[in-house]
Amino acid sequence: MYFDPESHAGNTCRDGGLTANNPAFHAFEESRRLWGDKTRYDLFLSIGPGKAPHPQNDNPRTAGTVPWWLFGIFTSFLRKMNGEAAWRKFYGSRDKVLQARLNRVNVDIRDTPGDKEPAFDDVGLMEKMEDAAKAYGERYVLTADSPYEPILGPCTKSLLEIQADILRAGQYFFQLESINPNSGKPIITGRLKCLLGPRDWSERLALKSLVAKTKFFRINKRTAVEIGAPFDQFDAFDIPIRFEHENRELPIRIDVSFGEPHLIAISGFPMDFKVLEEYHKKVIIEPSPHFSEGRQPGSAKGGTSDVKIKAVNLERAADAEGE
pLDDT in tens, 55-67: 776 555 555 566 6
What's the pLDDT at 231? 54
What's the pLDDT at 266? 96
What's the pLDDT at 321? 38
Contact 192, 239 (CB under 8 A): yes
Please classify residue 49 by burial: count the beta carbons closer than 10 Å to its beta carbon, then call 0-12 exposed, 13-18 middle and 19+ buried: middle
pLDDT in tens, 300-322: 333 333 344 444 433 333 333 34
What's the pLDDT at 148? 92
Residue spans of the chain under pLDDT 70: 1-3, 14-21, 57-82, 120-121, 144, 183, 228-235, 286-323
What's the pLDDT at 263? 96
Backbone angles phi, psi at 110, to 5 degrees: -105, 170
What's the pLDDT at 166? 96
**pTM of the model as a whole:** 0.77
What's the pLDDT at 49? 82
What's the pLDDT at 290? 44
Kindly report whether the peptide bond that precedes residue 181 is cis, defined as omega within 30 degrees of 0.
no
pLDDT in tens, 236-253: 788 899 999 988 888 999
